[in-house]
Structure 1
Amino acid sequence: MTDSRPATRRTVLAAAVATAAAAVASQTALSPAAASPLPASPSAPGTGPGGARTGARTGSTVDYRAWTSAADWRSGTGQGTRVATGHRPGIAIAAPAGTTDYTDPHTRRTAAWEYAVWTSPVHRLPVPASELVASWNAHTPAGTWIRIEMRGTYTDGTDTPWYTLGVWASGDEDIRRTSVDDQGDGKSSVWTDTFAVDDTSTGLRLASYRLRATLHRAPGTDATPVVWRLGAMGSDVPDRFEVPASAPGVAAGIELDVPRYSQNTHIGQYPEYDNGGEAWCSPTSSQMIIEYWGRKPTAEDLSWVNPEYADPQVCHAARFTYDYQYSGCGNWPFNTAYAATYRDMQGIVTRLDSLADAESLIRAGIPLITSQSFMESELDGAGYGTAGHLMTVIGFTKDGDVIANDPASDSNEAVRHVYKRRQFENIWLRTKRYNEKGQVRSGTGGICYILFPAKPAPSQHRALRALGIR
């Protein structure tokens, strides 16, 4: 697949071809509970409207902000919602604000749904943003679903419309989870999972935003979605073909014990989900990290999968991350939302500024999933080029090279790769690149998924907090 959409740093997360195995280096293997302790974290981020901490990092052009606590939820405006207390506070339906009809664009079925609405306080971005990606963690039992929206104010003082950033349910029986393309106002657009200013050369940026969650349920029932985490990453990463080189840091010689799965094990399986396993880099990567944290689907969950297929949990992840509008399994927040359907798991989409940020996570025992695009000649040992691909970063060699579980491999045994540090950091962090024809194309600018427990260990909490994640 290639990216035929308007110029944006949102790359297509298409399949990569099979890889050659990289050389194996001897490293220290760590389990989730055995990570090295981190030094004390820097000062806590400042607070924003409603009392929730902002995600600003000193000198960074990336801001991640989320609403997660009971105080956060009470700081917003609710119509028919209540704060669900417990070890994971969230918002739920108290008494519906009304009833609305929804026509599913993929099944053409129209049904009535009761709804309630929660709107966040305004969050002013520390650095006005050219892009924004929302992510959420929620429980949507049968007969329920949610819509996530964003409305912002530009630096010229005008407002965006309410943009839909996802129509989502963990299952696929009531509605088909979907992004909504072709949204725009002449200044910005939304494609799949990313809001982007159309022409950054004008200097126009997003100065602030609010998020809105609309919770739906079948009329006359007591069922309710519960949203535990709602947040967004705003960024203004400068356009660049090359990024500064970094020196090996705190994770040198650390490798996390992450399961290995190849997407190519599933070539041709369930082609209704993005043409089969050859395109499943994102759910395959997500499944590796979910299992690293000790979670996986039950036998009942997997009962729909052909019993002759190996690693059926990867098929399951593909089905339940599939975006029916995007026609793929690579919608970033759909993957993190899927991960958060597992017991006491959380998932977010953000950007990191450097490999040093990734190293701080690895040292704390937190692997990450990175998005990158590159020509075959730009990443030694990969054996392929791609317009967009996800892989997991699980460690660093003693020399600081990147150890990755790359799902675009011939077999599970071939998934572990060692990639040169300088090559990897450039293809991941840049925002512009050249393709094989010499044409300028977009890069992802450090996009990653971070999946972690609802109650991380103290060292993990410090590492996340240092990156503006709480």
Structure 2
Amino acid sequence: MTMTRSTSRRTVLTAAIAAAAGAVAAPASPAAALGAAPPRLVDNRFWSSLKDWRSGEAAGTRVVAGRRPGVVIGTPSGRTEYTDPHTGTTSTWESATWTSPVHRSAVPASEVVASWNARTPAGTWIEVELRGTYADGAATPWYVMGRWAAGDTDIRRTSVDDQSDGRSSVWTDTFAMNSSAGALRLASYRLRLTLHRRPGTGLTPTVWRVGAMASDIPDRFTVPASPPRVARELDVPRYSQNTHIGQYPEYDNGGEAWCSPTSSQMIIEYWGRRPTAEDLAWVDPAFEDPQVCHAARFTFDHQYSGCGNWPFNAAYAATYRDMSAVVTRLHSLTELETLIRAGIPAITSQSFLKEELTGAGYGTAGHLMTVVGFTPDGDVIANDPASPDNPAVRRVYRRREWENIWLRTKRYNASGKVVSGTGGVCYLYWPAHPTAAQRRALAAVGIR
């Protein structure tokens, strides 16, 4: 079984639906029965343009223009004493902040996942925080959504546990409403970036994109079937995580748990990027596909103790030249087909029993794979890293089975207990300057 996220991470979220054991899918609403368009369940807001950056509140940061606008440290506005919980080292950092305008989500949200694209040269790092307002007008605290650096010598990149106000909590990389909050939802939010550097230097991180996906996916064990619309297969490199079993066990016990970084590496190389020989010099030369080991190391979340932190994988992809990356949710296979038609593969998150996905040969509480196309019959072509070797990575999965295990939010595990599904979560990576067709496809799924 491949595991990308510890069972404790999502098991906590299932407390809100424990009473749903034995429940059935809700009947269609009157609007749906009349053929009205279904409601949007996902809201994406990302700040990345010059206008976006100028709309925020700066305290020591400045906006840089160019083909890829962003924010950097101008004149630091403060100093931070940070004790790294994973090394015990206390260091002093100069800091500056940028705070987004308030974004009122088109979807009152039960979950929010932030993601960011940044460059953090040695001697720098960033913190990303979220503060929201509930539908009743009360505010959340500032929640840390990640402390991140591309490298691992200045700080250890980390999520932050034990963040809650009793109504909402942060579980590794996901803001989530607590079960005790009932139908209460998050109505709006803002994000705050804190950029850090070694005092007395001219170093600075550069952040090109920051934003979040807010969603409220209803409880569902099944989703409606969608008709096939696209037959295309993208030429995406194939890498097996299982050829790395036992390698670098300090990163989540080695390759058996590396489905997320292995999938990330496939798409990074699809877009023509890869680590340099210098980047890979630390990897044992006896190991094949050393870039997979590299991806595991540099997506590793030292608090979560795994490589499956969703935003950390997106941030890793965006460390490569002119790459953009986000974490989002899609509504349907039709949206995924829109991306494939435009030449954009996707990394999807799903969980299932062995008998629920014909041909997989395994069951999993959480697994990432790369969708690279669709057959003429509409079946899903996936590069599944949970394969014995690279040639075996290409799989064809039955459309209806795959659609359901990816888009549902509730499922039964092997013990018959109701547990959660990911509800269409995926990572999208694409060039910072996409073609017109790729821009249209991304816009069609809410990414701008």
Q: When the two structures are superposed, what TM-score results if normalisation uses the length of structure 1? A: 0.88
The aligned residue for residue 25 of structure 2 is none
The aligned residue for residue 254 of structure 2 is 276
1:88 Cα shift? 0.7
The aligned residue for residue 344 of structure 1 is 322
**Contact 2:167/2:181, CA 8 A, preserved across alignment:** no
The aligned residue for residue 398 of structure 1 is 376
The aligned residue for residue 146 of structure 2 is 166
The aligned residue for residue 125 of structure 1 is 105
C-alpha distance in 2 between matches for 1:162 and 1:371: 27
- Please state if 1:137 is matched with 2:117: yes
- Please state if 1:439 is matched with 2:422: no
The total of aligned residue pairs comes to 422
Query: Which residue identity is paired with 2:302?
Result: Y
Structure 2 residue matching 1:71: 3-state secondary structure: helix
Deviations 1:422-451 (A, max 9, x none): 000100000000001100010000000000
**Contact 1:147/1:215, CA 8 A, preserved across alignment:** yes
Structure 2 residue matching 1:313: 3-state secondary structure: helix
Deviations 1:67-93 (A, max 9, x none): 001110010000000001111100000
Q: When the two structures are superposed, what TM-score results if normalisation uses the length of structure 2? A: 0.93
1:454 to 424, 432, 437: 432
Runs of 4+ in structure 1 deviating by more than 3 angstroms, as ranges, are none
- Please state if 1:4 is matched with 2:8: yes
- Please state if 1:151 is matched with 2:166: no
Structure 2 residue matching 1:190: 3-state secondary structure: strand
1:113 Cα shift? 0.2
2:159 to 175, 179, 186: 179
C-alpha distance in 1 between matches for 2:120 and 2:258: 24
The aligned residue for residue 110 of structure 1 is 90
Q: Which runs of 5+ in 2 are unaligned?
A: 16-36
Query: Which residue identity is paired with 1:83?
Result: V
- Please state if 1:90 is matched with 2:70: yes
The aligned residue for residue 357 of structure 1 is 335
Identify the structure with bigger relative contact order (alpha carbons < 8 Å, sequence gap 6+): 1
Query: Which residue identity is paired with 2:118?
Result: A
1:211 Cα shift? 0.3
1:354 Cα shift? 0.2
After the TM superposition, which residues 29-108 of structure 1 pair with which residues of structure 2 at under 5 Å, given as runs? 59-108=39-88
- Please state if 1:376 is matched with 2:354: yes
Query: Which residue identity is paired with 1:79?
Result: A
C-alpha distance in 2 between matches for 1:85 and 1:307: 41
Query: Which residue identity is paired with 1:189?
Result: S
Structure 2 residue matching 1:295: 3-state secondary structure: coil
C-alpha distance in 2 between matches for 1:9 and 1:357: 27
Deviations 1:407-436 (A, max 9, x none): 000000000000000000100000000001
C-alpha distance in 1 between matches for 2:89 and 2:351: 37
Query: Which residue identity is paired with 1:387?
Result: A
2:305 to 278, 303, 327: 327
Deviations 1:21-55 (A, max 9, x none): xxxxxxxxxxxxxxxxxxxxxxxxxxxxxxxxxxx
C-alpha distance in 2 between matches for 1:9 and 1:454: 36
1:9 Cα shift? 6.6
- Please state if 1:308 is matched with 2:273: no
C-alpha distance in 2 between matches for 1:311 and 1:324: 23
**Contact 1:130/1:200, CA 8 A, preserved across alignment:** no
Structure 1 residue matching 2:7: 3-state secondary structure: coil
Query: Which residue identity is paired with 1:389?
Result: H
Deviations 1:104-160 (A, max 9, x none): 000000000000000000000112000000000000001000000000000111000
1:212 to 192, 196, 200: 192
After the TM superposition, which residues 281-296 of structure 1 pair with which residues of structure 2 at under 5 Å, given as runs? 281-296=259-274
Q: Which runs of 5+ in 1 are unaligned?
A: 11-56
C-alpha distance in 2 between matches for 1:463 and 1:271: 39
**Contact 1:80/1:93, CA 8 A, preserved across alignment:** yes
The aligned residue for residue 404 of structure 2 is 426
1:466 Cα shift? 1.1
**Are residues 226 and 58 of structure 1, via their aligned partners in 2, closer, same or farther at CA, if it must alter by over 3 Å?**
farther
The aligned residue for residue 169 of structure 2 is 189
**Contact 1:290/1:296, CA 8 A, preserved across alignment:** yes
1:202 Cα shift? 1.7
Structure 2 residue matching 1:418: 3-state secondary structure: strand
